[in-house]
Amino acid sequence: MSNTDNIAPESRPPAPPPRSGCLTAFMVIAGIVLLLPGLCTLLIGAGNLSDPNIAPIAAITFSVGLIGLILILVAIVRR
């Protein structure tokens, strides 16, 4: 019996397959679209963000914008 039978193969996980350029472009475009509601809220309601009627809408649109920003960052960083 030889000593090569007991040697474990290298335990490095295989590299993930490369991502499609179309998927990256779609993620960036979708992220930009999701940024637009937050930008519109900033431009239109900049002086009224403390208004109790506008504050919930602003929170929702800024959350959507944050999701868009995260989507763009994931598309660029994981490329």
List the one residue out of 29, 34, 33 whose CA is nearest residue 61.
Answer: 34
* pLDDT over 60 at 2, yes or no: no
The three state secondary structure string of 37-61 is HHHHHHHHCHHHCCCCCCHHHHHHH
Please report where in the chains the tokens 């431009």 appear, as a residue: 43
* pLDDT over 90 at 11, yes or no: no
| Structural domain spans, the chain | 35-79
> Looking at residues 47-73, what average pLDDT do you find?
87
